[in-house]
Amino acid sequence: MPQPLAATWARPLLPLLPLLLLLAARTPLPAGARPAPGPEYLRRGWLRLLAEGEGCAPCRPEECAAPRGCLAGRVLDACGCCWECANLEGQLCDLDPGAHFYGRCGEQLECRLDAGGDLSRGEVPEPLCVCRSQHPLCGSDGRTYPQLCRLQEAALARPDANLTVAHPGPCESEPQIVLHPYDIWNVTGKDVIFGCEVFAYPMAAIEWRKDGLDIQLPGDDPHISVQFRGGPQRFEVTSWLQIQAVRPSDEGTYRCLARNALGQVEAPASLTVLTPDQLNSTGFPQLPAQHLAPEEEAESEEGEDYY
Ligand SMILES: *[C@@H]1O[C@H](CO)[C@@H](O)[C@H](O)[C@H]1NC(C)=O
Ligand SMILES: *[C@@H]1O[C@H](CO)[C@@H](O)[C@H](O)[C@H]1NC(C)=O
Ligand SMILES: *[C@@H]1O[C@H](CO)[C@@H](O)[C@H](O)[C@H]1NC(C)=O
C-alpha cells in the first residue's frame, strides 16, 4: 500500500477517528486463543477500506511494497494486484468473500464463524481464520505440531531451519509422565488414590507396582483397584490406583510405570498409614498434606481435546 494514498485520505477520515480507535483497541482474539502479532492487520483493514473508496487503480506491480515476515503466507490484495500477508489462525477475517476489511486467511486456513464463544453470555460469534486440517503432524525438527498451519507458521518464522513434515501423526517418543502420583498419608480405614497422567505416541500402557511386591497391581487384592481412561489431552492416558480402607501393611512406595514401543518411564509415590493412636500421639502430623488429588481435576477441565 503506497503511503501517499493514506495521507490523501486522512482528512475526510477525521470524523471516523473514534470508530477507528475503537477498532484498533478491540481485542482481536477471543480469550484462550494465541496472542496475535498486534493490531497491525486491523490497521491494514482500514487502509483497505480507504482504498476501496477509490476503486482499483491500474495495477503496477513494480510499485507494490514487498510484504515481509508473513507467517501464514501471502495473498493478493483486494484489487488482485499486490501481495500482502495472509491472516493467521485465530485472526479475524471477512466471511463475505466480496469484503476486504480484515483480509484473507492463509492458504491452509478458511474463514469460519467462531462457534467456540459463550453465546449464552451474549458473546457475538466472530469470523476467524481456522486451519482446514486438524490432524497432528511430526515436523522434521522432531516436534509434534497440532496441525499443518502451526507447522507452516514455524517453518515461515525460521526459513533457514528447512522445517518440513516428517510424517502425519505425532512424533513417536517414549512416554512422558505429565502428572505424577503424589506422596499421600492417611489414617487406617480411609480410602486413598494415586493418579498418573501420561502422554505418549504410540499410546502408552500404564501399570502400577508396589516396591517389594513382585506383582502388577491390583493382583488379587480386593481392596486395591486400578482404573484407566484416555485423556484428558489427546494421546494421553490417565490411570488411578485406589486403595480402600488402608491398613498399616499398605504403607510403602508405589510406582506408576508407563511403557510403549520406544521406552519406559516410571514415577514413584509413597503411602504413609497412621493408626488413630499415632495420630493422637503426634498431633496433626506435619507430613506433606498439600499434595492432594483435587489439583488434577482442576487442570483437566481445560481438556478441549478430550479423546
Ligand atoms: C537448509 O537448506 C539449505 C539449502 O538446501 C542448506 O544450505 C542449509 O544448510 C539447510 N539448513 C539446515 C538448518 O539444515
Ligand atoms: C484421608 O482420606 C479421606 C477419604 O478417605 C480424605 O477425605 C482425607 O482428605 C484424607 N486425608 C489426608 C490427610 O489426605
Ligand atoms: C485419642 O483417640 C481417642 C479415640 O481413639 C479419643 O477418644 C481421644 O479423645 C483422643 N485423644 C486425644 C488427646 O486426642
Residues 13-31 have pLDDT tens digits of 444 444 444 444 444 444 4
**Residue 119's pLDDT is what?**
62
Ligand nearest the Cα of residue 159 is 1
Band of residue 116 on the pLDDT scale cut at 50, 70, 90: low
User: 103-107, long-range: CB within 8 Å, 24+ apart, which pairs?
Assistant: 103/41, 103/44, 103/45, 103/48, 103/75, 104/75, 105/72, 105/129, 105/130, 106/72, 106/73, 106/75, 106/149, 106/152, 107/72, 107/73, 107/75
Q: Which residues of 216-234 are buried (b: 16+ CB within 10 A; e: fewer)?
A: ebeeeeeebebeeeeebbb
Does 46 score more than 70 pLDDT? yes
Q: How far apart are CA 93 and CA 91, in angstroms?
A: 6
Residues 67-102 have pLDDT tens digits of 888 988 898 888 888 898 999 988 889 888 777 888
Bigger pLDDT: 90 or 244? 244
Q: How far apart are CA 6 and CA 45, in angstroms?
A: 12
Q: How far apart are CA 35 and CA 226, in angstroms?
A: 41
Question: Among 119-123, 136-140, 204-208, which is the least confidently predicted range?
Answer: 119-123
Q: Measured in whole angstroms, how far is the alpha carbon of residue 51 from the centre of its chain?
A: 37
Ligand 3 contact, 280 CB (< 6 A):
yes
Q: How far apart are CA 221 and CA 228, in angstroms?
A: 18
Enumerate residues 6+ apart whose C-beta is below 8 A from 228. 206, 237, 238, 239
**Residue 43's pLDDT is what?**
74
Q: What's the angle, vertex CA 34, arms to CA 30 and CA 37, rounded to 5?
A: 100
CA 166–ligand 1 middle distance (angstroms)? 16
**Residue 305's pLDDT is what?**
41
Fill in the DSSP letter of residue 73.
-
Q: Once rounded to an integer, what is the mean pLDDT over residues 165-191?
A: 93
**Residue 167's pLDDT is what?**
92
**Residue 173's pLDDT is what?**
87
- What's the Rg (C-alpha) of the chain? 28
**Residue 41's pLDDT is what?**
66
Bigger pLDDT: 281 or 253? 253
Q: How far apart are CA 185 and CA 289, in angstroms?
A: 7
The closest-lying atom of ligand 1 relative to the alpha carbon of residue 161 is 13
**With contact defined as beta carbons under 8 Å apart, do 74 and 84 qualify?**
yes
Global pTM reads 0.54
Residues 219-239 have pLDDT tens digits of 889 999 999 999 888 889 999
Q: Once rounded to an integer, what is the mean pLDDT over residues 144-158?
A: 91
Q: Whose CA is nearest to atom 1 of ligand 3?
A: 280
Ligand 3 contact, 3 CB (< 6 A):
no
Mean pLDDT estimate for the chain? 79
Ligand 3 contact, 276 CB (< 6 A):
yes
Q: Once rounded to an integer, what is the mean pLDDT over residues 104-113?
A: 90
CA 156–ligand 1 middle distance (angstroms)? 14
**Residue 27's pLDDT is what?**
40
Bigger pLDDT: 33 or 199? 199
**With contact defined as beta carbons under 8 Å apart, do 194 and 254 qualify?**
yes
**Residue 228's pLDDT is what?**
95
Percent pLDDT > 90 in the chain is 38
Number of H helices, E strands in the chain: 6, 15
**With contact defined as beta carbons under 8 Å apart, do 92 and 127 qualify?**
yes
**Residue 117's pLDDT is what?**
58
Ligand nearest the Cα of residue 162 is 1
Bigger pLDDT: 174 or 124? 174
Q: How far apart are CA 175 and CA 205, in angstroms?
A: 9
